[in-house]
Amino acid sequence: MKIMPCPLNGPRNISEFVHGGEVREMPNPISCTDREWAEYVFYSDNQAGIVTEWWLHAASGYWFIAERHTVTDEIIRTYDPSEIFKERVEFSAEPATEEVSA
Amino acid sequence: MTRLNAPMGLLIDRDQPLAFNFDGKPYQGFKGDSIASALAGNGRWLLSRSFKYHRPRGPLTMAGQDANTLIQLGKEPNVLADRELAENGIDVQGQNYNGSLDGDRDAILGHFSRFMPVGFYYRCFFKPMGVWDKWEGLIREKAGLGVLDLEFEPEYYDKAYLFHDVVVVGSGPAGLSAALKAADAGASVLLVEEQPILGGSLTYNRFDVAGSQADNLRADLVGRVEQHKNIEVLTRAACNGWFADNYLPVIQGKRMYKVRATECIVASGSFEQHVVFRNNDLPGVMMSSAASRLMKHYAVKPGNRAVVLTGNDDGYLTALELLDQGVQVAAVVDMRPAPESEQIASAVLSRGVQVLSGHTVYEALPTKGNKHVRAVDVRAITGRGEVASKGETFDCDLLCMSAGYMPVYQLLCQAGGQLKYDDDAAEFSLSKLPAQLRIAGSVNGIHSLEAVLADGERAAQQALQTLGLADGAAPAAVSCGRKVNFEWPIFSHPKGKDFVDFDEDLQAKDIVNATRLGYRDVQLVKRFSTVGMGPSQGRHSALPTARLVANATDRTVTETGVTTARPPFSPEKLAHVAGRIFDPYRRTAMHHRHNELGAKMMPAGNWQRPAFYGKAEQRDACMQAESQHVRNKVGVIDVSTLGGIELRGPDAAEFMNRIYTFAFLKQPVGKTRYAVLTNEHGVVIDDGVSCRLADEHFYVTATTSGVERVYREMMKWNAQWRLDVDITNVTSAFAAVNLAGPDSRKVLEKLATDVDLSPEGFPYLAYREGHVAGIPSRLLRVGFVGELGYEIHVPAHFGEALWDALMAAGEEFDIRPFGVETQRLLRLEKGHIIVSQDTDGMSHPGELALEWAISRKKPFFVGRRSVDIVMAQPQTRKLVGFTLPEGTKKPEEGHLVLEGDNISGNVTSCEFSPAVGAIIGLAYVGINQIEAGSQFPIRVDGGQMVQATVVDLPFFDPDNARQAL
Amino acid sequence: MSAITPESFSKRSFVYRQLSAASFTEVAGAAQAADLKNGRNQAMQAGLLDLSVLPRTGFRGLNAAAHLQAAGLPVPAKPNQASVADSGELVLRLSQKEFWVLGNLADEGARIDSLNQQPLPDSNCYPLYCQDSHAWLTLTGAHLPAIMAKVCGVDLREEAFPLGSIAQTSAARINVVIVNHQINGLPCFTVLCDSAAAEYLWECLLDAMGEFGGEVIGSGALS
């Protein structure tokens, strides 16, 4: 069984973890086009190479980020999400634009 | 029963004789004997009948690596007689014969072999259509091995992890030296050995003319291993697979160890290979190593007069061992033009044994009925696979053969290792192994004893370097000048029976013919011919098959390769996989009370919940009685499984606002609010009730099956948003009941003395805290079942006491518990959806008439943009309520709704409602079928159609007056 | 003399029905299994003890460590470490900002109750519900790593999991917190699991202990 090095709990069987999908940047939900939003929601790069993914250590409820090579399945690095998400995220209060209902 | 003198017989205890039956006749043996060795000690060589032609078969490897020794042991079929210990009084039967093992009437099948060509089943029963049905019965009868006991009693099998720095697989000289080197440096080592004793080839093989080297070396190495505090030894243990990051299942007895090691050294050795010639499967024809094992392990004389057929110097050493144990050696037949070591060869010659170089056995001649070898026809080799037209016949009752060795590659190829064939060495070698998996000894192509020991140390030293325990520099590769494989040990005979694969009765021409039929890829050759599919999984057939296919298709052996090796390496029982599997269940604090009340329990995720109280066959009656009781009096249901999440901190309201569709910033303290959750696709994935306990404190419920996901999503979102909020899953911390019915207030009034329960003091949808029966409680006025009702949430430790108090206080009001199925009926009467029952992977809020629960005034909630997009599209379906007259055939969940010839939707909930007096249900219907009063067809069981009528929701108490009392 | 039974109290252990052979004493307003007629020798061999009714609490937030320090409790330096207070409480650090405090039998967890009475810091310190969300089972004796290896895929041998270590992991396929500690010199693995799965894990642990001669013990077997 594959071993995943958890930044909080150390190396553990992969069965202790839940995959949370690729780390993706959300387009501005107010101002992006329908197509941009659909791509964000539905499309996955699914690339052969290094991907950045969310992983949850279920027993400790700890989400972290892993860089993994999808061809070799090698886990290159794992780290706390605060390395990427440093700032409090705000959503603007502007009303949705008309294109939404187009 | 005569046995050889000690030191022969390493495994047996001559002081402990035993007796058992084989095929109805009594036999004797000693403790430590395998069934096969005990039988051989009695001169019994015929152990089984072959799979296809029912040919007599005897010991081939004496190491549990072939199918010749499969027997039926009591009720257990397909036991390897050369691995299973003989025990006093056991009853052993042969397998796969018609009549008796000695006089198998199906042996006649061998004469029809030309009518059963390669790919027989595949070709004969594929066309014409339906022919298989005619043949299946007969073929199943003939093709099965052994008899299964369907009345078996399950036994206890289990699993356990084992952790070590280094695991060494195989305890031959390479494994022993690797284990010692690693352990001496301070690593904790696990040494896994398939056989009952340590030493591998040192326990049976002769390495020198004098015949003392192996015993001395073994005594030294094994002695040190057994004394070593850093080494744990598992004998009679099979390492059956290699999985990522050195995770190895090791089966010993009734336990599967799940071994996890930082470093893994595979010193699995190599399998001796047979020579392909006519009748090479007769009892009495065996691997050289099998004869050696019979002598050294069991003190059994393998024959009286032997011929040794070899492709390397090891055959000469086998001849010396045979001579030392009183076996005449008629000849050593060496396929090579000359031996490698003059010293070894001359030692044999000096004992008066005839040596024929450049010769082979072309045919083994059988006794009557193919029961045993009686002589061999030896011919000069004239070319690749070709022999002289005349030869010399040697009488013998034993033929030892060795064409060379095949590395035991199975674990390594599972790990991604690749096999490469070296034409000069005529040997496969392994490369491209993952880091921290190493090989040593003959599996690594190292064959001379000194080099094997050095190779073990080399592998251990490399392992120690990753472990940070090495004291020296990286070691150099070890090499070995010996050549042990003969290039083409395949001598096809025009009359066949020159077996490549003993398990499947495949002859040399079968493999070649498969390639001629177009199956050029070795994988296809395997599937067409079944080569390597038998119990020995290509241990002996892979190498000759690769050579034959390469030759027939004009490719190199490397290009041809071998078929994929998959776990398990050796046969394993399903019990080993199934034994002690963990299947967690969760129980609420009130669980045992439900059982005492006769609840019919049902699973809800991994929870156990009461479906209703009563017998399974009285489901409908119980549910209707329970539901009427809630409508008319008072009922109580355990809702502890309901998810609970706490959100605390300055941003708690902001967080609620972003997660759920409704507006929560201004939710008043002391009030509840319905909360719907959509995912980023805009699909409704959960719902619950949000209670605001304080400005910065929310307690929100979630569905039983959804809470884990909801909690995880919340945590993940806030890892990105970084709001100042603490999120806690408190599901198990609270036990909860829903006390519902017109008399529920009266019951609660007896117990909750510090809460104003008046309609004004505690109105519908309010939240209060207080004590119920002295237990600190959270109280919610809810209306899920459409009656006056209170959810009471208490710390889980008090759950059972709360239940007891409510049942006691409710007695005078005739309180009655109700189950989940009843609750589903009650909420259905109110038209309330259950997320995941009435929703699917496409359900957006518009389809569920939940537009009212979506706030359009806030800038964001998860799924907001998708909800906007999908709800702006023309809607195609909608969830509606329907009724059917009582007595109509009741639709089930999932039954289809039709619109013309098309499927327009499906039923999601349906039940007979005593309160409405009709069958009621929820169904997705086409957007043109939603008008109240109109009818739509549902296809129920048996293809029958019923006409349902669309009605407005709810079905019961349309003004919702009862819940707001 | 009327015997104390678990049902004499409103607060009841999650596994009290597994303890029908025990005699009980009152601890923290509930019945604690005190004696199963096997004593300290059994505890030294292999014992399974239910301490679910014994008080425990937890705090999470940036100010949680300071809150415990102010209460005079020893705060472990790193996550997944445990420390022992002078008065016997176990302080578990489960992450940078999450702490659980397990009460001591000697004072029936009284210090936990007083800790819960202390005013919280003004911000960023939230009490947790581990008293009720988790059951508290303690394994004792000489074979702890071998017993756990039958249910858990983490290496809990002394070399890898020394005294004072914590593993948040999966045992018998449910989430658990395992703590390596001692009570009166007795080797202990405390296993905290979902209270709703307590009876399940109880069964699994007893099964795993079987080959080591494991039995259910009472709190009296600790001394």
pLDDT tens digits, residue range B352-398?
A: 999 999 999 999 999 998 999 999 999 999 999 999 999 999 999 99
Whole-Å CA distances, B779 to B169, B739, B776: 62, 10, 10
Let me know whether B662 and B798 are in one domain: yes
- Min distance A98 CA to chain B CA atoms (Å): 11
Arithmetic mean of pLDDT over chain B? 94
**Residue B563: what pLDDT?**
87
Arithmetic mean of pLDDT over chain A? 90
Please write down the long-range contacts of B45-49, taking CB distance under 8 Å and 24 or more positions apart: B45/B283, B45/B284, B45/B372, B46/B101, B46/B102, B46/B283, B46/B371, B46/B372, B47/B71, B47/B81, B47/B94, B47/B283, B48/B94, B48/B95, B48/B96, B48/B101, B49/B94, B49/B95, B49/B96, B49/B97, B49/B101, B49/B104, B49/B106, B49/B107
Which residue on chain C is closest to B649 by alpha carbon?
Answer: C124
* CB contact set of B261 (below 8 Å; sequence gap of 6+): B163, B164, B165, B166, B167, B190, B246, B248
Q: How far apart (Å, rounded) are the C-alpha atoms in residues C223 and B119?
A: 73
Name residue B357's amino acid: S
In a domain, A100, yes or no: no
C183 contact A CB<8A: no
C168 contact A CB<8A: yes
Residue from the list A13, A15, A59 with its beta carbon closest to the beta carbon of C168 = A59
In a domain, A98, yes or no: no
In a domain, B919, yes or no: yes
Neighbours of C200 (CB within 10 A): 22
Res. C169: pLDDT tops 80: yes
In chain B, which among 819-878 make CB contacts under 8 A with chain A?
858-860, 864-866, 868-869, 872
- Tens digits of residue pLDDT in B720-742: 999 999 999 999 999 999 999 99
- Min distance B607 CA to chain C CA atoms (Å): 8
B174: phi > 0 → left, psi -120 to 50 → alpha, else beta; which? alpha
- Min distance C62 CA to chain B CA atoms (Å): 10
Segment A56-78 shows an average pLDDT of 96
**Residue B1: what pLDDT?**
57
Let me know whether B266 and B279 are in one domain: no
Q: How far apart (Å, rounded) are the C-alpha atoms in residues B153 and B160?
A: 23
Contact assessment for residue B291 and residue B8, using Cβ atoms and an 8 Å cutoff: no
Segment B621-637 shows an average pLDDT of 97
How is chain C split into domains, by residue range? Answer: 6-53+133-222, 56-130
Q: Which of these, A11, C169, A69, lies nearest to B260 by C-alpha position? A: A11
- Min distance C50 CA to chain A CA atoms (Å): 21
| B159 confidence band (pLDDT: 50, 70, 90) | very high
Neighbours of B196 (CB within 10 A): 15
Res. B330: pLDDT tops 70: yes
B692 contact A CB<8A: no
* Structural domains in chain A (count): 1
Residue from the list A2, A37, A100 with its beta carbon closest to the beta carbon of B872 = A100
Q: Is the four-CA dihedral A43, A46, A52, A55 of positive or negative sign?
A: positive
C94 contact A CB<8A: yes
| A100 confidence band (pLDDT: 50, 70, 90) | very low
Segment C110-122 shows an average pLDDT of 96
| B8 confidence band (pLDDT: 50, 70, 90) | very high
H/E element holding C74? none
Contacts of C200 in chain B (CB under 8 A): 584-587
In a domain, A93, yes or no: no
A81 and B860 in contact by Cβ < 8 A? no
Let me know whether B675 and B709 are in one domain: yes
Task: Please report where in the chains the tokens 């307690």 appear, as a residue.
Answer: B699
Q: How far apart (Å, rounded) are the C-alpha atoms in residues B111 and B119?
A: 18
Contacts of C207 in chain B (CB under 8 A): 580
User: Could you tell me how many CB contacts below 8 A there are between chain A and chain B?
Assistant: 71
Q: How far apart (Å, rounded) are the C-alpha atoms in residues B593 and B591?
A: 5
CATH number of domain containing A68: 3.30.2270.10
A8 and C80 in contact by Cβ < 8 A? yes
Segment B526-543 shows an average pLDDT of 91
Residues spanned by the domain of B916: 874-965
Let me know whether B431 and B513 are in one domain: no
Residue from the list C128, C157, C197 with its beta carbon closest to the beta carbon of B163 = C157
- Min distance B590 CA to chain C CA atoms (Å): 10
In a domain, B598, yes or no: no
In a domain, A50, yes or no: yes
C32 contact B CB<8A: no
Residue to mutate among C195, C199, C200, C209, with most B CBs inside 10 A, is C195
C113 contact B CB<8A: no
Tokens read off for B772: 């119920």
Those residues of chain B whose CB sits closer than 8 Å to some CB in chain C are 158-163, 188, 258, 260, 580, 582-589, 592, 607, 640, 646, 648-650, 724, 726, 728, 730-734, 773-775, 795-798, 800-802
| B152 confidence band (pLDDT: 50, 70, 90) | confident
In a domain, A80, yes or no: yes
Domain end among B349, B372, B402? B402
Name residue B474's amino acid: A
Which residue on chain B is closest to A18 by alpha carbon?
Answer: B712
Res. A97: pLDDT tops 70: no
A91 and B869 in contact by Cβ < 8 A? no
Q: How far apart (Å, rounded) are the C-alpha atoms in residues B277 and B497?
A: 8
| Three-state DSSP class for residue B544 | helix
A71 contact B CB<8A: no
Let me know whether B384 and B418 are in one domain: no
**Residue B136: what pLDDT?**
74
**Residue B126: what pLDDT?**
66
Residue from the list A1, A58, A62 with its beta carbon closest to the beta carbon of C95 = A62
Contacts of B711 in chain A (CB under 8 A): 61
Residue to mutate among A63, A65, A86, with most B CBs inside 10 A, is A63
Contact assessment for residue B878 and residue B930, using Cβ atoms and an 8 Å cutoff: yes
Segment B597-618 shows an average pLDDT of 96
Torsion, Cα B425 B428 B434 B435, to 10 degrees, reads -20
| Three-state DSSP class for residue B910 | strand
Q: Which CATH superfamily is domain C6-53+133-222 in?
A: Probable tRNA modification gtpase trme; domain 1 (3.30.1360.120)
B797 and C123 in contact by Cβ < 8 A? no
Q: How far apart (Å, rounded) are the C-alpha atoms in residues B920 and B923?
A: 10
Name residue B387's amino acid: V
Q: How far apart (Å, rounded) are the C-alpha atoms in residues B816 and B808?
A: 11
**Residue B121: what pLDDT?**
66
Percent helix / strand / coil, chain B, rounded to 5: 30, 30, 40
Let me know whether B835 and B819 are in one domain: yes
Contacts of B865 in chain A (CB under 8 A): 29, 32, 37, 96, 100
Contact assessment for residue B17 and residue B28, using Cβ atoms and an 8 Å cutoff: yes
Q: Which of these, B839, B845, B829, lies nearest to B951 by C-alpha position? A: B829
Residues spanned by the domain of A83: 3-32+40-87
Q: Are strands B158-169 and B255-266 parallel, antiparallel or unpaired?
A: parallel
C132 and B728 in contact by Cβ < 8 A? no
Residue from the list A1, A41, A54 with its beta carbon closest to the beta carbon of B245 = A1
Contact assessment for residue B255 and residue B155, using Cβ atoms and an 8 Å cutoff: no
Residue to mutate among B581, B797, B803, with most C CBs inside 10 A, is B797
Contact assessment for residue B636 and residue B729, using Cβ atoms and an 8 Å cutoff: no
CA angle B721, B691, B859 (to 5 degrees): 40
Res. B629: pLDDT tops 90: yes
User: Could you tell me how many CB contacts below 8 A there are between chain A and chain C?
Assistant: 33
**Residue C141: what pLDDT?**
98
Tokens read off for B531: 């080569």
Which residue on chain C is closest to B161 by alpha carbon?
Answer: C149
Spell out the SS3 assignment of B10-51. Answer: CCCEEEEEEEEEECCEEEEEEECCEHHHHHHHCCCCCCEECC
Domain end among B853, B873, B893? B873
Res. C1: pLDDT tops 70: no
**Residue C2: what pLDDT?**
64
In a domain, A61, yes or no: yes
Segment C68-96 shows an average pLDDT of 97
> Does the ipTM exceed 0.95?
yes
C165 contact A CB<8A: no
- Min distance C83 CA to chain B CA atoms (Å): 24
C159 and B798 in contact by Cβ < 8 A? no
Res. B603: pLDDT tops 80: yes
Let me know whether B119 and B9 are in one domain: yes
CA angle B415, B421, B426 (to 5 degrees): 130
**Residue B106: what pLDDT?**
77
- Min distance A77 CA to chain B CA atoms (Å): 16
In a domain, A48, yes or no: yes
CATH number 3.30.70.1400 is the correct assignment for the domain at C56-130: yes
> Phi and psi for B9 in degrees, rounded to 5?
90, 45
Domain end among B842, B873, B904? B873
| B100 confidence band (pLDDT: 50, 70, 90) | confident
Residue from the list C150, C151, C195 with its beta carbon closest to the beta carbon of B732 = C195
Segment B156-170 shows an average pLDDT of 97
CATH number of domain containing B886: 2.40.30.110
Q: Which of these, B384, B405, B372, lies nearest to B540 by C-alpha position? A: B405
Percent residues over pLDDT 70 in chain B: 97
B665 contact A CB<8A: no
* CB contact set of B494 (below 8 Å; sequence gap of 6+): none
Res. C173: pLDDT tops 90: yes
Q: How far apart (Å, rounded) are the C-alpha atoms in residues B486 and B498?
A: 17
Let me know whether B421 and B376 are in one domain: no
A41 contact B CB<8A: yes
CATH number of domain containing B456: 3.50.50.60
Q: Which of these, B468, B459, B414, lies nearest to B438 by C-alpha position? A: B459
Q: How far apart (Å, rounded) are the C-alpha atoms in residues B398 and B379?
A: 18
Residue from the list B582, B584, B798 with its beta carbon closest to the beta carbon of C11 = B798
* Structural domains in chain B (count): 6
B582 and C153 in contact by Cβ < 8 A? no
C127 contact A CB<8A: no
B715 and A88 in contact by Cβ < 8 A? no
Spell out the SS3 assignment of B303-369. Answer: CCEEEEEECCCHHHHHHHHHHHCCCEEEEEEECCCCCCCHHHHHHHHCCCCEEEECEEEEEEEECHH
Contact assessment for residue B349 and residue B371, using Cβ atoms and an 8 Å cutoff: no
Res. A98: pLDDT tops 50: no
- Min distance B163 CA to chain C CA atoms (Å): 6
B719 and A37 in contact by Cβ < 8 A? no
Residue from the list C60, C123, C150 with its beta carbon closest to the beta carbon of B158 = C150
Let me know whether B765 and B852 are in one domain: yes
**Residue B571: what pLDDT?**
85
B847: phi > 0 → left, psi -120 to 50 → alpha, else beta; which? alpha
Contacts of A10 in chain C (CB under 8 A): 80
Q: How far apart (Å, rounded) are the C-alpha atoms in residues B708 and B605?
A: 11
* CB contact set of B657 (below 8 Å; sequence gap of 6+): B663, B664, B665, B858, B861
Q: Check: pTM over 0.90? Answer yes or no.
A: yes
